[in-house]
Amino acid sequence: VSTQSTWENKLNRLNPQGARQLVMESSAREAIQHAKEEFFEGDEDSSLQIKLTQSKLLRKKAEEDAKLLENRIKLLQLEEKRAMKKIEETRKKAREIMLLKNRNQEVQRQKEEWRSARIEEEIKRNEMNKAIRDQLKTSVENNRSSYLRKLKQEVDSIRREKQVFTSYYTLSFGRTTRRHSSTIKSVKR
């Protein structure tokens, strides 16, 4: 009975949460070593079979905990890789967006330059056309005034000739006949 109670006391002292904490704080081997030390410490009366079974259970539990930790670490590493992949994809998309934005700005700038050049060209063309129109207008006015001057000179010349002719005719014949006066009047008109 005393060996059994001693074994139960030792078993009760061994806390499963404490074993898990040991596994998390240290490696699996240290947890197994700690469990062995606690089980085998000064207990010579207990049966070796119970100790061996408990030892196997503790070792198995420690190995399971170590495996769980290993799996958790692998999961975290996998999540980190996925996160890094998403971050890299986001960076790549951001670069592509920036390149597209820069390209669009360059195209817009070129279009604006082309429009400006077209507007300047149109302004120059309009100025040139205005200059040509002004020149033509001046030329037409000069030609018109020249033509009117020439016409006036011809009219004045004809009038003088008519006066000379009329005065010569009145001096030569002294009087005008009805037939001649109608001719003279039609010439005056």
What pLDDT score was predicted for residue 41?
Answer: 54
What is the model's pLDDT at position 67? 93
Q: Is the pTM of this model over 0.85?
A: no
For residues 107 and 119, give the distance between their C-alpha atoms in angstroms, rounded to a whole number.
18
- How long is the chain? 189
Positions in the chain whose pLDDT score sits under 50: 1-5, 7-12, 15-23, 25-26, 42, 45
Give me 35's structure tokens.
């469990």
Q: Give me the pLDDT at residue 188, please.
A: 57
The CA distance from 80 to 70, in Å, is 15
**What's the confidence (pLDDT) of residue 23?**
43
Per-residue model confidence (pLDDT) at position 21: 47
Amino acid at 81: K
| Contact present, 31 and 57 (Cβ < 8 Å) | no
